[in-house]
Amino acid sequence: MRKSLLALLTIILAVVLAACGSSDKGADSKKGSATAGDSKSIKLGATAGPYSDMLKKAIIPQLEEKGYTVDLVEFSDYVQPNKALDNGDIDANLFQHTKYLENFEEQNNMDLEALIIVPTAPMGFFSNKYKSIDEIPDGATVAIANDPSNAARTLLSLQEQGLIEIDPKIEELKASEKDVVKNDKNLVFQPIEAAALPRTVESVDLAGVPGNFALAAGLDLLNAVFLENMPDQFRNVIAVKADNKDSQLSKDLVEIVESAKFEEIIDADFKGFGKPEWMKNR
């Protein structure tokens, strides 16, 4: 009896252990499948406007062709997209130029990486009073952005048009009003928050409006008195966390932006956007 009972208990125990093992394998299998799927489920961030449109029209469709499921997160300011990227709430963003990214990283102790420069809406210089540089009178009021990077861009553009000269000893990308050493037309600079610059077009003689704000306000870049000859440091980039710069997603994003299909969409739907040097020279 004892031997029979022991044999029966042994059989029952073996069956129970086998069932548990099978259950664990099934759970592990399901977990692995979910993880593999999640690697293709991503979130991209952008400020609402032309760069979220660029993601929607020129990038996300090609990511979906590669098997990604993409959620687009739109932001209303220039701070949250990088915070979300650093926190891991999004996988990449598109809204900022290289100089802004570098300054933001330094000020907020982040380690982010610019993957590739994309075509970018240049700063437009708009006026409801004048059609050309030659018409701008002595003592004209020029509205410029009050943040350092956009102010430097504005001054560099005015210098290129021969309206002012900046101290050659100053690093150009850090130039400010105090670095203007020649101002033959006695231009009066009126610093304004960048987002508010479109509203000044009606009241000032000339307003230097960053491209994203110009487009958001319905201004046509092709109607500007002149457009910025934008250096690549001020063109927007796709950014990721530095730890993810060599990820498959990062490689796929670069491949898409470098594709002929991407450039075709830019040419058709983003008129007036300046192309980066790598795109112009290939």
Q: Tell me the pLDDT tens digit for each residue of 89-117.
A: 999 999 999 988 998 999 999 999 999 99
Quick check: is 32 in a domain?
A: no
Report the half-sphere exposure of 68 (CA within 13 A, side-chain side): 20
CB 95, CB 236: distance < 8 Å: yes
Whether residue 74 sits in one domain with residue 139: no
Cα–Cα distance for residue pair 22/1, rounded to 1 Å: 32
Residue 43 pLDDT exceeds 60: yes
Whether residue 193 sits in one domain with residue 239: no
* Confidence at residue 216, expressed as pLDDT on a 0 to 100 scale: 87
- Place 25 in a pLDDT band, splitting at 50, 70 and 90: very low
pLDDT mean over 194-217: 94
Whether residue 76 sits in one domain with residue 49: yes
Predicted TM-score of the model (pTM): 0.75
User: Taking the CB of residue 145, how many other CB atoms lie within 10 A of it?
Assistant: 24
Cα–Cα distance for residue pair 23/29, rounded to 1 Å: 10
User: Long-range contacts of range 254-257, CB-CB < 8 Å, 24 or more positions apart?
Assistant: 254/115, 254/116, 256/58, 256/59, 256/62, 256/63, 257/59, 257/116, 257/118
Quick check: is 150 in a domain?
A: yes
Count of structural domains, the chain = 2
Residue 110 is classified by DSSP as -
- Place 29 in a pLDDT band, splitting at 50, 70 and 90: very low
Quick check: is 18 in a domain?
A: no
Residue 1 pLDDT exceeds 70: no
Q: With pLDDT > 70 as the criterion, what percentage of the chain qualifies? A: 86
Whether residue 182 sits in one domain with residue 224: yes
Residue 222 main-chain phi, psi, to 5 deg: -75, -10
* Confidence at residue 48, expressed as pLDDT on a 0 to 100 scale: 87
User: Taking the CB of residue 119, how many other CB atoms lie within 10 A of it?
Assistant: 24
Cα–Cα distance for residue pair 199/128, rounded to 1 Å: 11
Whether residue 224 sits in one domain with residue 128: yes
Domain that holds residue 111: 41-120+233-280
User: Taking the CB of residue 231, how many other CB atoms lie within 10 A of it?
Assistant: 17
* Confidence at residue 30, expressed as pLDDT on a 0 to 100 scale: 36
- Place 149 in a pLDDT band, splitting at 50, 70 and 90: confident
Cα–Cα distance for residue pair 150/185, rounded to 1 Å: 22
Whether residue 132 sits in one domain with residue 224: yes
Residue 79 main-chain phi, psi, to 5 deg: -105, -50
Q: Give the strand pairing for 236-241 and 112-117.
A: antiparallel
* Confidence at residue 77, expressed as pLDDT on a 0 to 100 scale: 87
**Total count of residues recorded for the chain:** 282
Whether residue 242 sits in one domain with residue 205: no
Query: Which neighbouring-strand residues pair with 97?
Result: 236
Helices 98-108 and 148-160 pack at an angle, to 10 degrees, of 150
Helix, strand, or coil (residue 150) = helix
pLDDT mean over 219-248: 95
Helices 98-108 and 80-87 pack at an angle, to 10 degrees, of 60
CB 274, CB 119: distance < 8 Å: yes
